[in-house]
Amino acid sequence: MKTYSAKASEIEKKWVVIDASGLVRSEERRVGKETGKKLKDKVYYRHTGYIGGIKERTAGAIMAGKHPERIVEKAVERMIPRGPLGRRQLGNLRVYAGAEHPHTAQQPETLDVAKMNPKNTQYKAA
């Protein structure tokens, strides 16, 4: 039995839009973390390259900053495999901070993640 490998001409690419507003991220559901405290408790670290040059920012500071979409981009980047294939997959990702995007000409189909599983939506306390 031979392994089938699809050629580039046989692959049909399509655009998909996922509206992530009101969704619970997978780590919150899996670990059982509090979703309300995430913006002030989750800390992202980076290093400038100089001695003692470690810098930290909270998720809330990044979300209130100039590029809030970088949180989702970095989360996806850490999930996909490292190497040439992962870099090509990451090149196909487009993340926008709002509901507007410039890709209406590609006729993207919407994927409603909230309807796939009731656990995907945030819990509303009464």
In tens, the pLDDT along 16-65 reads 888 777 776 655 555 555 667 888 888 999 999 999 999 999 988 988 89
Domain around 64: 16-27+37-120
83-111 per-position pLDDT tens digit: 999 999 999 999 888 788 888 888 888 88
- The answer to whether residue 5 is domain-embedded is no
Taking the C-alpha atoms of residue 71 and residue 112, their distance in angstroms, rounded to an integer, is 21
- The answer to whether residue 43 is domain-embedded is yes
The whole-model pTM stands at 0.68
Tell me, what CATH number does 114's domain have? Answer: 3.90.1180.10
Taking the C-alpha atoms of residue 104 and residue 7, their distance in angstroms, rounded to an integer, is 27
- The answer to whether residue 67 is domain-embedded is yes
Matching residue, tokens 């031979």:
2
Number of domains in the chain: 1
- The answer to whether residue 49 is domain-embedded is yes
- The answer to whether residue 59 is domain-embedded is yes
- The answer to whether residue 1 is domain-embedded is no
- The answer to whether residue 99 is domain-embedded is yes
- The answer to whether residue 32 is domain-embedded is no
